[in-house]
Structure 1
Amino acid sequence: MRMSRTDRKLWAAARTIADLGELTAQWLEGRIGSQPGYMPNCGPDEETRDLMPHLAAANRAGYLTWNSQPGSDGTGYDGRRWQQRAAVCGYANQPVLDQLRRAAARHGCRLLFEKHMPATMADNEIVTGFGGQLPARHLRAMWKGIVSDDAYRALKAATQVTVISPDWGPSGTKKLLAVLEAVR
């Protein structure tokens, strides 16, 4: 399956992080069918529904997001207890990074750059983590040849940063959303 010709043209026309953020916001809102790095013509995961308006606003404000999850605690598809920390990964230039730092400190979240932090557990076994740096080869595979060279250079120059709540469960989502709302 391929990204539609219309979507490819939109992404190829992007020149800046702001352009990429606007297109990502439109994808989150269902106005664009595809986003680089995701299965073509597939929207965000269902669990992200409550985060989508906040993610769209953060993208429009300059925090280009590419992965997120809400905090949760409950029985999963397999009958085990699944717990998640609310988290979002993305790219930011210095002014937005400064806003994220202040908001994370104010709302009790952490910013991760090099380190990973466990983010999902099933029956107290760590399943996934958030944070760290996306390797250059993954960045190329997701974006190179889809967005303009200008946009790709801007993306490479931006800082990869993850915002994560230290709390397991839904209370962490409230903290994460407060941080995202502070990005303007």
Structure 2
Amino acid sequence: MKLPWMKRAERRLWKAVTTVADLGELMARWLEGEIASRPGYAARYGPDEETAHLVPTLAALCRAGYVTTQSQPGFAGTGVDGLWWEQRAAVDLVVTDPELLHRLVDAATSAGMVVRVNDHRLDHGQDEPVIVTTCDGEPITAFGGRISRANMAVQWPELNRDLYDQVAHGRYVSIVAPEYGLDGERLWVVLDFLTGLRRREPHDPWARSAG
């Protein structure tokens, strides 16, 4: 399926990748601003401004075999609408390697994160979604939950058939901080330890809070 808003050269770029490692590299380059468009996202738009400080963490995950699809930072405060907004730090990823999946889930659960793992091919046994954003105490958005075939096609419209099959047979993982607000930003430290982007230092307060 060709999306008219993605330039022909960009479509060829994404269509040419054949491995999850190559897909992760392109996603990392999109996060870093080297590529203007990515599948399943508005053309010539990069990551949201609120996630700019997460780019190194997300790019490292993509290059380590964990392809990120959406994320948000922890936040608590008054929005431009004058209402009280709270967010949990959260990220959605596609993982096709069972060993990498085990490492990710083990690291996240050991640090006290909320983990959801879903397989879009299953009609039952799916993990329930997790509320990640509230406005004046009312739930607004959630991460995780069942992924339909239609959603899968919308998320990865530009991949070649073989790579699409690999991604479709992967596990869709949501990692969510249990805390709302800035305390939940320790999630990114946990993930940096996982990819090796960050090393544990004796006097690093984030290392202690990240478990």
CA distance in 2, matches of 1:116, 1:183: 25
- CA offsets per residue over residues 94-140 of structure 1, 9 Å max, x none? 12111111211222212112210110011111111111132111111
Instruction: Report if aligned partners of 2:116, 2:129 keep a CA contact under 8 Å in 1.
Output: yes
TM-score (norm 1): 0.94
RCO comparison, higher one (Cα < 8 Å, 6+): 1
CA RMSD of aligned residues (A): 1.4
Instruction: Report if aligned partners of 2:57, 2:191 keep a CA contact under 8 Å in 1.
Output: no
* Counterpart residue type for residue 97 of structure 1: L
1:158 counterpart residue number: 170
Aligned with 2:47: secondary structure? coil
1:169 counterpart residue number: 181
* Counterpart residue type for residue 70 of structure 1: P
Q: CA deviation at 1:180?
A: 4.6
Instruction: Report if aligned partners of 1:24, 1:64 keep a CA contact under 8 Å in 2.
Output: yes
2:134 counterpart residue number: 121
Identical columns (%): 40
Aligned with 2:80: secondary structure? coil
Answer with 1 or 2: which has the greater Rg. Answer: 2
- CA offsets per residue over residues 20-47 of structure 1, 9 Å max, x none? 1111100000000011111011111111
Listed as ranges, the gaps of 5+ residues in structure 1 are none
2:110 counterpart residue number: 106
Q: How many residues align?
A: 183
Instruction: Report if aligned partners of 1:85, 1:165 keep a CA contact under 8 Å in 2.
Output: yes
Listed as ranges, the gaps of 5+ residues in structure 2 are 118-126, 197-211
Q: 1:136 to 1:180 in 2, by over 3 A?
A: farther
1:75 counterpart residue number: 78
Q: CA deviation at 1:16?
A: 1.7
Moved over 4 A (4+): none
